[in-house]
A and B are shown apart, each in its own frame.
Chain A
Amino acid sequence: MSAWTNIKRVTRYGLVGFIRNGFVSLAAVFIMMITLFTILWVLMIGAGFQSALHWLTEQVDVTVYFTTDASQAQIEQVRKQVVALPEVASSVLISREDALARFKERHANDQVTMEALAELGDNPLGAALEVRAKETSQYASIAKNLSDFQKNTSASGIDKINYQQNEHAITQMTSFIDALRVFGLTAGLILAAAALLISFNTIRLAIYTSRDEIGIMNLVGAGTWFVRGPFLVSGILYGLCGGLITLLLSYPLALALGPGSEGFFPNFNIFTYYTGNFALLLLVVMGGGILLGALSSYLAVRRYLKT
């Protein structure tokens, strides 16, 4: 008998079993849907947190303020020093003119400040160098390096480094971000693990009801894969149906939660994320469903397979 005939027969029995054991299949699909739904939303909310963390990280920097009489050569020397540091992700130089323009823009509605600035006549602001680290925990070492540079160089042109002012806020934020990462990952993993266990046990229970049937199949001389195959097919169908329902239900839910999610996570809309990453989410949900269904069935049938 060809392998193709075997596959056809096993698939047909799996499909027929899925339909005829309607109530058991319904329960398994329902539980599978809850599992996949949990995994999908843990993923999406996780992406929201990731985006929020990214945004928070971007709010932190170390700024080097130069004196108003710092020369272009001095500024360039500091910039070279900064770029050479491995912890530095990027640096942006703000010229005296840009600094003044920003100041004016920020205080456009502040009549008194604008008048005071006009009276000064000259530009009172020095150039600045905004430095971003790869990790928030690296700001301290960047600031120390710059501070050492300032001390060891007779004419560095540096007026002040604002890290000392922000040190407390940066340290707090670093610990908060770390804690949030650990909490998010742990909570997500626990939820996903619980959902997986429930799903696995439901499929085991579904196969438990067929244990006598498996015994009879053994008795008439059915090979291991002829017994196991239909259950694997049914398991895959639980996963496919559960995954499909999950994706269908998540669309309107993500649509409804979209505007709210923007308020909760800066620069993140859960609906945009859902539609923008649909191919990846489809792969995770359907692939996860198929894998979970097949694996659960495989392990559950193994228990009742004996010769």
Chain B
Amino acid sequence: MERYSTPADRPLAVPVWEGQAAFYRADLEFHGVGHRGDSYEGRVFFDAPDATPTTPRELDAGYAGSFYVFGHGPCFGDEGHCEVPPGPIHPFDYRTVHHLAPQSMVVTVTDAVRRTIADGKSEFGVTVVPTNVLDAEVGDILHFERLSLVTYD
């Protein structure tokens, strides 16, 4: 995908208990992250669906943090080399995981979540802008299956 924004009708709930931040740390977990293609930075913003690579990386602008994907690059193999198999081909297949098996990325967003609470919000949206080191948005490189907000108290 070009970029990701949580659907407007399905925001994430702000984790509070009796109106207070009931955690000392909040992580945003991205599961099933693809890593074929170029390396990139996934810039994460809260309540900033129009964020771009030039949006300041500051709490005031909604910036929550980044994850960095080390991309595999193009396929350097024969046909099918970079297609991830669904699992072992039979019970005696002891090979280790495929080199393009999905990964998980964690961004600690404690300050940004505390900010949403301080702003009196009960929910917020997440936007991920895939960006390269030249501050250019890169297209069709961001792929993940699930997003989770996990807090620790």
Indicate, yes or no, whether A interacts with B. no
